[in-house]
């Protein structure tokens, strides 16, 4: 049970005074994402930290105010100029002055009665807003605040700025957070006293109050002691949850899986290439772990095209040789079916009985797979999250392989391990991840790296082109199609959006189809799985030569003879994503090219990204650079695609706290594995606070 102490923070936001149904949906969209149907909680408000600060301490005269800079000015009201009756297009104007000059206050659709009350003629008022110059006159449109001298203390001199969405104004956000702070319970201290003393960190209550009521720009800096304290709390909760998962996996008896090598030998003989040194080393590390009596929890990091599938299959073969079963879980149906297609000939050569299970298998076909799995007639099962479902029972699962791990949560990884009492786990990612992020999201895992490309792979030539050269590029694409080449053309949006001046995939598809007819195909995330598969198959088999797509192709489409990748509006993608997309070409023996189309002028970060893309294909270097440029969200795929980004901690500022949190979590579990001491009880509250309920359930499960 969640401690009663935390109940106020887990109440939904509509329980707070002043938050009705409409506002609670808008706040939920902001704090939880999605359509707002999953209502946000009071705790979400507390951890929605400011992104900036308005400083109203400067109070210049009218003529001293800098244009476009927020200023607080003391003025006297001269006269009102309401618009003509019934003409709402003309704004309501109020003329004010001080001893340096005049200022016009402008209100669109201003209400006369309210404005008369706010600005009595002849009275002094303090107004806050941005001064703009228009036809030689100073104007202020819709001042943020207007107060009488006797109410000057109502004007916040330092006001935090929060990320907002439509329907949530700065005043509403400030009021909602103030209400949430007023019911914040006093929680026991869970940080080790020596760590608190060393860093001079304040309490949770003080930290939240200090950040939401800043007295100085330093108070809302990620480097402030209050922010660092909360970041450490979040990192400690994450590391403790991962350490609990790991210790439970270690505790549940493992089994030594030692194969005789016959299936692996057959697969190696059937492969059309020799393994790289990195592949051989990784297979050796994995097999060594599998032979130990402890359960394996290892990550295989392989750059795009480095041969993870071969390593996964050889590992699965070792488990099957030893009398067990193996499962490979992919994040999408396309990828699961592609694994199936590429694995089938090798599995046949080795005598491995293979099956695939996704949402598409229904009725009798599904029941048959369940039955064959339980009886042990299937050696290797490939699939999507359908593998977690209750009907899926293995006879003897020895190895679970999770591909593109960052798209799955810890609880899903646990669900897979529960399918086999002593199953080893191998997680694979095609995004090389810096050490700090491996720790962040996966705990203290053993890591194998595929840091070599197969010998026959040629480097991909990468160039950046401004959009002005689009016609030239299209001519080049037409020539390439005439020469029998295959081209991906990637767009950031599915359909046109009035607010963004970007050509969508649908528009680009139509324009290229007008030029090249049936040679052009289209695939995007809103299509039905069968439509996507058909479009991909047409491209793979050459019925179409140009595939216009969104990032739905980022993971797992394998068309070895595609040689050109065009990424339109490349400045809108993160480095890791650009690198993943580029890796869709260069999979065969022909020279491949990646063309990054950008809209000038470029911002500094976008410039740096495109420069790194042109300089290197080393995914590990790209991952490190990406962390510096963009922070942790982008490295594990965009936050929207399910990356477990943080609310508070930022790796570029708090990376040093991560190792500390990991060491502390290890020490805690050594001294108090069931979290039963006074500090242990406080740490349980921490785990609940950061929604790590899974970890607390593990404690109870023992």
Query: Which residues contact residue 358 at a Cβ distance below 8 angstroms, ignoring those fewer than 6 apart?
Result: 333, 336, 337, 383, 384, 386
- Tell me which of 407, 427, 450 is where a domain ends: 450
Q: What is the full DSSP assignment across 525-581?
A: TTS-HHHHHHHHHHHHTTS-SEEEE-GGGTTT---TTEEEEEETTGGGS-HHHHHHH
**Same domain assignment for residues 480 and 435:** no
Q: Is residue 672 part of a domain?
A: no
Please say whether the beta carbons of 596 and 465 come within 8 A. yes
> 328 and 386 share a domain?
yes
Cβ neighbours around 121 below 10 Å, total: 12
What pLDDT score does 210 carry? 96
Those residues whose C-beta lies under 8 Å from the C-beta of residue 154, and which sit 6 or more positions away, are 145, 147
Helices (H), 542-677: 575-582, 604-615, 619-630, 632-635, 651-671
| Residue 680 included in any domain | no
Residue 162 has, within 13 A of its CA and on its CB side, a CA count of 25
> How far, CA to CA in Å, does 262 sit from each of 144, 266, 683?
76, 6, 49
Strand 158-161 to 52-55 pairing: antiparallel
Tokens at residue 561, please? 């003879």
Residues 28, 177, single domain; the answer is yes
Task: Count each helix (H run) and each strand (E run) in the chain, helices first.
Answer: 25, 21
Q: Are residues 8 and 39 in the same domain?
A: yes
Same domain for 331 and 431, yes or no, is: yes
647 inside domain: no
pLDDT value, residue 220: 92
Last residue of a domain, one of 87, 121, 155: 155
Q: How far apart are CA 477 and CA 463, in angstroms?
A: 15
The Cα–Cα gap between 148 and 155 comes to 10
269: phi > 0 → left, psi -120 to 50 → alpha, else beta; which? Answer: alpha
Give the count of alpha carbons within 13 A of 101, CB side only.
14
48/66 same-domain check: no
Q: Are residues 106 and 18 in the same domain?
A: no
Contact 163, 51 (CB under 8 A): yes
Place of tokens 């962040």: 440
Residues 129 and 72 in one domain: yes
- What is the structure's pLDDT at 692? 83
133 and 64 both lie in a single domain: yes
pTM for this structure? Answer: 0.63
Query: Which pLDDT score, from 0 to 100, does residue 266 have?
Result: 97
Last residue of a domain, one of 134, 155, 176: 155
The pair phi, psi for residue 126, each rounded to 5°, is -100, 125
513 vs 663: CA distance, rounded Å: 58
Tokens matching residue 513: 């189809």
Q: Which of 159, 155, 82 is nearest to 125 (CA)?
A: 155
Q: Are residues 468 and 446 in the same domain?
A: no
249 falls within a domain: no
- Radius of gyration (C-alpha) of the chain in whole angstroms: 30
- Beta bridge partners, 500, equal 497
Contact 491, 508 (CB under 8 A): yes
Q: Domain for residue 395, yes or no?
A: yes
**Mean pLDDT in each 10-residue stretch from start to end of the chain (702 residues)?**
91 92 92 83 94 86 89 95 87 95 93 93 95 90 93 87 88 92 95 95 97 92 96 93 77 82 96 92 96 86 82 97 93 82 94 91 89 96 80 90 62 55 80 65 74 79 94 95 94 76 88 94 86 88 93 69 94 84 85 94 88 88 74 40 62 84 92 93 94 74 48
Helix 575-582 / helix 619-630 crossing angle, nearest 10 deg: 150
pLDDT at position 664 is 94
- The answer on 72 and 144 residing in a single domain is yes
In angstroms, the first-to-last Cα distance of the chain is 16
Range(s) of the domain holding residue 378: 262-450
Tally of domains in the chain? 4
Is residue 35 within 8 A of residue 29, CB to CB? The reply is: yes
Whether 524 is covered by a domain: the verdict is yes
In a domain, 651, yes or no: no
Cα 572 to Cα 387, 488, 634, 638, 678, distances in angstroms: 35, 17, 12, 12, 49
Report if residue 692 sits inside a domain.
no
Residue 102 and residue 66 share a domain:
yes
The CATH number that applies at residue 102 is 2.40.50.140
Cβ proximity of 487 and 545 under 8 Å: yes
């Amino acid at each position: 049970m969640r401690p009663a102490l935390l109940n106020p923070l887990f109440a939904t936001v509509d329980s707070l005074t002043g938050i009705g149904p409409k506002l609670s949906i808008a706040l939920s969209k902001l704090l939880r994402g999605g359509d707002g149907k999953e209502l946000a909680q009071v705790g979400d408000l507390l951890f929605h930290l400011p992104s900036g600060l308005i400083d109203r301490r400067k109070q210049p005269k009218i003529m001293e105010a800098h244009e476009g800079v927020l200023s607080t000015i003391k003025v006297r009201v001269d006269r009102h100029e309401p618009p003509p009756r019934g003409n709402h297009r003309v704004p309501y104007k109020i003329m004010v002055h001080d001893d340096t000059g005049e200022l016009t206050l402008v209100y669109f659709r201003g209400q006369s009665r309210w404005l008369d009350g706010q600005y009595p003629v002849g009275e002094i008022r303090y107004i806050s807003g941005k001064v703009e110059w228009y036809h030689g006159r100073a104007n202020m449109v819709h001042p943020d605040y207007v107060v009488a001298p006797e109410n000057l203390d109502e004007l916040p001199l330092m006001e935090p700025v929060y990320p907002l969405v439509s329907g949530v104004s700065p005043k509403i956000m400030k009021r909602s957070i103030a209400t949430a702070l007023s019911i914040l319970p006093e929680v026991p201290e869970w940080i080790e006293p020596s760590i608190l003393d060393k860093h001079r960190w304040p309490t949770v209550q003080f930290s939240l109050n200090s950040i939401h009521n800043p007295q100085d720009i330093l108070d809302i800096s990620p480097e402030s002691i209050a922010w660092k304290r909360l970041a450490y709390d979040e990192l400690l909760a994450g590391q403790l949850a991962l350490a609990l998962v790991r210790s439970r996996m270690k505790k549940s008896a493992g089994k030594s899986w030692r194969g005789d090598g016959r299936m692996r030998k057959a697969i190696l003989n059937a492969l059309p290439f020799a393994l790289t040194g990195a592949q051989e080393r990784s297979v050796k590390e994995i097999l060594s772990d599998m032979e130990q009596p402890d359960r394996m929890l290892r990550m295989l990091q392989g750059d795009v095209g480095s041969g993870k599938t071969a390593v996964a299959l050889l590992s699965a073969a070792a488990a099957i040789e030893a009398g067990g079963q193996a499962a490979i879980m992919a994040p999408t149906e396309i990828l699961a079916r592609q694994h199936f297609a590429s694995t089938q000939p090798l599995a046949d050569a080795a005598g491995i009985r293979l099956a695939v299970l996704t949402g598409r298998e229904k009725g009798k076909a599904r029941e048959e797979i369940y039955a064959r799995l339980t009886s042990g007639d299937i050696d290797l099962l490939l699939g999507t999250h359908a593998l977690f479902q209750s009907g899926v029972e293995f006879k003897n699962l020895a190895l679970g392989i999770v591909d593109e791990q960052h798209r799955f949560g810890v609880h899903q990884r646990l669900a897979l391990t529960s399918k086999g009492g002593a199953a080893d786990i191998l997680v694979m990612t095609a995004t090389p991840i810096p050490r700090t992020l491996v720790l962040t999201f996966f705990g203290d895992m053993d890591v194998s790296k595929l840091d070599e490309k197969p010998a026959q792979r040629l480097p991909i030539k990468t160039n950046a082109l401004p959009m002005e050269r689009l016609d030239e590029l299209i001519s080049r694409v037409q020539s390439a199609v005439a020469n029998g080449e295959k081209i991906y053309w990637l767009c950031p949006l599915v359909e046109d959006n009035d607010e963004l001046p970007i050509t969508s995939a649908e528009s680009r598809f139509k324009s290229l189809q007008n030029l090249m007819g049936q040679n052009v195909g289209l695939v995007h995330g809103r299509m039905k799985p069968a439509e996507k598969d058909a479009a991909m198959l047409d491209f793979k088999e050459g019925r179409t030569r140009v595939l216009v797509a969104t990032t739905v192709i980022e993971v797992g489409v394998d068309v070895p003879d595609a040689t050109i990748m065009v990424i339109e509006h490349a400045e809108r993608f993160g480095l890791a994503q650009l690198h993943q997309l580029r890796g869709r070409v260069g999979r065969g023996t022909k020279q491949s090219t990646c063309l990054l189309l950008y809209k000038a002028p470029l911002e500094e970060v976008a410039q740096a990204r495109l420069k790194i893309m042109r300089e290197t294909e080393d995914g590990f270097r790209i991952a490190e650079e990406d962390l510096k440029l963009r922070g942790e969200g982008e490295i594990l795929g965009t936050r929207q695609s399910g990356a477990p980004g943080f609310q508070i901690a930022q790796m570029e500022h708090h990376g040093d706290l991560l190792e500390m949190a990991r060491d502390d979590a290890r020490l805690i579990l050594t001294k108090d594995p069931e979290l039963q001491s006074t500090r242990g009880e406080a740490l349980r509250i921490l785990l609940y606070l950061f929604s790590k309920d899974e970890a607390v359930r593990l404690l109870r499960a023992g």
